[in-house]
Amino acid sequence: MRLVWLLVACSSGGTREHSLDGFLASTDFAGVTDLAAVTDLAGADVARPSDLASAKDFSSSDLGNGLDPLLSPADGTGQPCQTPGSLSECPGYAVCRFYTTTELRCDPADMSNPGIGAPCTFSHDCDLQYQCYRGFCFPFCTLGGTDCGFPDDCVDVGYTGGGNIGACRT
């Protein structure tokens, strides 16, 4: 019920480009006053509670690496690299991923992973273009850019080693 209320609240204000009007199966929530009348969210592309329940709880992470606890860092066995998301700096089927707030490491990728939004436990569960953030594979992004949609959809995950790369949150 909270999800519907949030969608109704967000949909009923703001300009059209920042509104959720029409986002869910071309449904316009702007005039909805009876939440019980909103029943068809089958076409919605949102995580189900069962998906979130199976996601790893990174908030209790004991890694102590200083990165956002919702980010699964590289496992640390790969060679150091310089650019988050780089494919050219790593041998084999691997990508340069966050390891600590100041270090990056080459991390293997799962080429059978279907990509964005796929459930994951570790970043190596994701394909090359992605990293495990909040229990799902999301792309690397440029902070303040529109790689993920709106500029605030790219989250600073705590990497301070240079550059302005983060993780998409959606």
Q: Please tell me the pTM assigned to this model.
A: 0.62
User: Average pLDDT, stretch 128-155?
Assistant: 95
Tens of pLDDT, residue by residue over 101-117, are 999 999 999 999 888 99
Instruction: Mark 130-153 as b/e (b = at least 16 C-beta within 10 Å).
Output: bbbbbbbbbbbbebeeebbeeeeb
Tens of pLDDT, residue by residue over 19-72, are 334 333 444 445 545 444 444 444 444 444 444 444 444 443 444 589 999 999
